[in-house]
Amino acid sequence: MKIEPEKLKHHNLKPMKCELNYLSKSDGSSILSQGNTVVLVSVNGPLEIKSAYQSMEKATLEVLFSNKGGKPSVADRFKENVIRQTCESAILGCLFPRTGINITIQELENYGGLVACAVNCTCLALLNSGVAMRHVVAAVTCAVDDVGNLVLDPTHEQIQSSQALMYFVFESSEKNMVTGFTEGKFSEDTYLEALELCRSASDLVFKFYREIVSKYCSVIG
């Protein structure tokens, strides 16, 4: 199934704004807003770590997610797991055996699409850090509203009234899905349509990455 460009025009993503090198004491950092949702990410590493945590084959990736309220929750641990698995698929960890890479994610505002914003902000922070990657990744959220229509990059209100949510992360090389999870009930056809809609929308995220990286490269140059 292929989503026509005309259809995608009616499913715009929220405006994205980003600043790299936001934190001075990290190897890479990024603050990203998608609409009114804002996330700050710092990356440190590769670093020396205790031998008990070392892997002979690749870097050990540690992800810490902090919500706005500051109290750790089960949902936060789930976000950490999703982001860690996504990053492990992208980072060339085999180049940094017996070291550690630490990723710290801070939720600043959440008005819908927090996980997608966190994944995208993390990818930008990794690019800023210079860690070798086999590809970059882009996350897109899709909701199924109360009458069965797909809503790309939904707001907090649209999420609250939706009957299902789908989260997809795609890699930049072949646009294959590297991470995906869902909530709620939906048909197989709805899932496949949402998958292709989000895959097409990921082009907009990758384009944004290129614009941000080009901007900062020109500043450095």
3-state secondary structure the chain: CCCCHHHHHCCCCCCEEEEECCCCCCCEEEEEEECCEEEEEEEEEEEECCHHHCCCCCCEEEEEEECCCCCCCHHHHHHHHHHHHHHHHHECHHHCCCEEEEEEEEEEECCCCHHHHHHHHHHHHHHHHCCCECCCEEEEEEEECCCCCEEECCCHHHHHCCCEEEEEEEECCCCCEEEEEEEECCCHHHHHHHHHHHHHHHHHHHHHHHHHHHHHHHHHC
Output the pLDDT for position 70.
Answer: 83
69 vs 105: which has the higher pLDDT = 105
Q: Taking residues 137-144, report their average pLDDT.
A: 97
Output the pLDDT for position 72.
Answer: 86
Which of 5-9, 44-48, 71-75, 108-112 is the least confident region?
5-9
Residue 200 domain boundaries:
5-220
The CATH number of residue 51's host domain is 3.30.230.70
Output the pLDDT for position 73.
Answer: 92
What does the mean pLDDT of the chain come to?
Answer: 91
Q: How many domains is the chain built from?
A: 1
